[in-house]
Amino acid sequence: MAIATINPATGETLEEFAPHGADRIEECLGRAQRAAVYHRGTSFRERAEWLTRAADILERERQELGRMMTLEMGKPIAAAVSEAEKCAAACRYYAANGERLLADEHVETGDGKSWIAFHPLGVVLAVMPWNFPFWQVFRFAAPALMAGNVGILKHASNVPRCALAIEDILRRAGFAEGVFQTLLIGAKEVEGIIADRRVAAVTLTGSEGAGRSVAATAGKNLKKSVVELGGSDPFIVMPSADMESAVKTAVTARMINNGQSCIAAKRFIVHTEVYDAFLKPFVERVSALRVGDPMQSATELGPLATAAIRDELAEQVERSVAAGAQLLTGGKRIEGTGNYYEPTVLADIPGNAPAYDQELFGPVASVFRVTNIEEAISVANGTVFGLGASAWTTVESEQERFVREIEAGLVFINGMVASDPRLPFGGVKSSGYGRELGEFGIREFVNIKTVRVMSPSSSKSSETE
Ligand code: NAP
C-alpha cells in the first residue's frame, strides 16, 4: 500500500511519501536503543512535565490537528477536534498518576525486605490503524513513555501526516531525541523490526489478520506483545430499557467515526416485545443522518477512509441481502466523488450471511430479534470477537447476567461502550489480548521485577523454583 495522503471526501491524492529504506530503519533502531538508556534514567517528574506539555500542544493546536485527521481519513471535523482533546486528557492522566501506578509494592515475606518494582522494557514498536489516528497512538504512547519506555511508530499507510505530526508534538513537548520516532514503512517491514534484538516488545491495533501475523512473529522471537483487534459488538435492548435513550444511543454507537470504530455497536439484539418500538425510530434516525463533507460542522456521516474499505463493505451488504437479509434503509454506494456509503440497516439476517458474524466496518447496522435473555446472550456471544458490549435493561438480575455471561473485555449497562484513560481497554477471543489504559495498560510494557533484600544472618537458599 502506497504511503500517501488521499482525501477520502474527494479521492484526490494530496501528497505521496517515499517509504523509509533500510538505512533509515537502522538509524531509527540505533537512536531508539540509545534513547532507551537515557530515558529510563529520567524521573517520573520529568516525564510528567513532558507529557503535560504534549497535552498543552494538543489542546492549543486541536483545530489544525483535527483538520489533518479529517483530511486524511474522513471523520467529521468536530469528532477529530475532540480526538485531539482526548489525547491531551490521556497525557494528563498518566502525568498525574503514572508514578503512583508504578510505585514499588512492598510485600511482607518474613525475613529481610521484599518488593515488586516496575521497570521499563525498552524499545516498543507500535503498529497502529488509521481510524482514530491520534487517539490510538497516544493511548499507547502516554503510558509507555511515562513508564520509561521509548516508542517506534509504524502508522497506517493512509495517515502519514498524522504519524509525523505526533512525533513532532512529542519532540516539541521535551522528550529527548529518539524517545518517540515515526517510521514511514509498509507492513512487510514489521516482521524484521520485531525480530531485531534492540526491540523489546510490540503492540498492534488493527485487524484480526494483522494481529495474528504480529503475534506470531512476536511469539517466534519471544517478545512481549499486546494486540487490540476487531469487534462485532452487541447492543442488547430488553423490554425494560428506556427506549428513547436506547434508540438515540444506538444510532450514535453504530455511526460514530463514520461507522469505523472497533467498539462501535454492530449487532443490535432486540427483545421481541420491544422490537417494533426500537426498530421504527432507529431506522428513521439512521435514514435521516446528514451525510456529506466531513469538514462541515453539520455533517454527521462522512466518507469511508479508503475506496477499498467502502468496496468491501458494499460487498458484505450485497452478499447478506443475497443470502436473505432484509434491507430496511440504505444499502448502496453514493455515486460521485469520495468513498461515501449510505447509512444502512439490515434485519432478519440468516446465519450464513456476512452480516451475521463478520465485522462490518462502516455505517451498517445488523438487527436481530430474540425472545428471551438466554437467546440474547447466545446471539451476543455468537461471533469470534469479544471486544465490547452494551446492554439496556433496568432489571438488576438481567444486568448481572449480562455482566457475568457476555464474553467481552468491556460490558456497559445502559450506556455506549467508550474508552476512558482511567479504565482498562481490550478484548478477549479474536478481539485480541492485553490491555491498554488505566493501571493495567501502563503495566503491560514493564518488567515486573521481584526484589528481595535479605539480612545476611537470615539468608538461606531455597531448593525450589
Ligand atoms: P489493518 O489493516 O490491520 O492495519 C492496521 C495496521 O497494521 C496498519 O499500520 C497496517 O499497515 C498494519 N498491518 C496490516 N497488515 C499487517 C501485517 N500483516 N503485519 C504487520 N502490520 C500489518 O487494520 P485497518 O483496516 O487499518 O483497521 C481496522 C481494523 O482495526 C478493524 O478490524 C478494527 O476493528 C480494528 N481496530 C481495533 C481497535 C481495538 O482497540 N481493538 C481499535 C481500532 C481499530 P498498512 O496501513 O501499511 O497496511
* Residues 48 and 189 grouped into a single domain: yes
* Residues 14 and 109 grouped into a single domain: yes
Q: Is 156 in the pocket of ligand 1 (CB under 6 A)?
A: yes
Whether 441 is covered by a domain: the verdict is yes
Domain count, the chain: 2
CATH number of the domain where residue 150 is located: 3.40.605.10
* Ligand 1 mutation target, pool 131, 182, 425, most atoms within 8 A of CB: 131
Out of 228, 300, 342, 444, the active site residue is 228
Dihedral over alpha carbons 383, 388, 392, 393 (to 10 degrees)? 90
* Residues 110 and 80 grouped into a single domain: yes
Out of 87, 91, 162, 262, the active site residue is 262
Q: Is 105 a catalytic residue?
A: no
* Residues 224 and 261 grouped into a single domain: no
DSSP per-residue string spanning 28-77: HHHHHHHHHHHHHTS-HHHHHHHHHHHHHHHHHTHHHHHHHHHHHH---H
What nine digits make up the cell of 170? 512529542
Residues with pLDDT less than 70, the chain: 458-465
Q: Which is it for strands 150-154 and 180-182: parallel, antiparallel or unpaired?
A: parallel
* Residues 238 and 225 grouped into a single domain: no
What pLDDT was estimated at residue 27? 98
pLDDT (tens digit per residue) in 207-251:
999 999 999 999 999 999 999 999 999 999 999 999 999 999 999
Whether 465 is covered by a domain: the verdict is no
Whether 123 is covered by a domain: the verdict is yes
* Residues 354 and 395 grouped into a single domain: yes
Ordered strands of the 105-107 beta sheet: 105-107, 113-120, 446-453
Q: Is 260 in the pocket of ligand 1 (CB under 6 A)?
A: no
What pLDDT was estimated at residue 53? 99
* Ligand 1 mutation target, pool 262, 266, 310, most atoms within 8 A of CB: 262
What pLDDT was estimated at residue 457? 72
What count of other Cβ atoms lies within 10 Å of the Cβ of residue 225? 23
What nine digits make up the cell of 145? 513513555
Boundaries of domain holding 264:
233-413
* Residues 217 and 260 grouped into a single domain: no
* Residues 348 and 220 grouped into a single domain: no
Q: Is 262 a catalytic residue?
A: yes
Whether 242 is covered by a domain: the verdict is yes
* Residues 122 and 34 grouped into a single domain: yes
* Residues 73 and 201 grouped into a single domain: yes
pLDDT (tens digit per residue) in 51-86:
999 999 999 999 999 999 999 999 999 999 999 999
The single residue listed with the C-alpha cell 433496568 is 394
What pLDDT was estimated at residue 111? 86
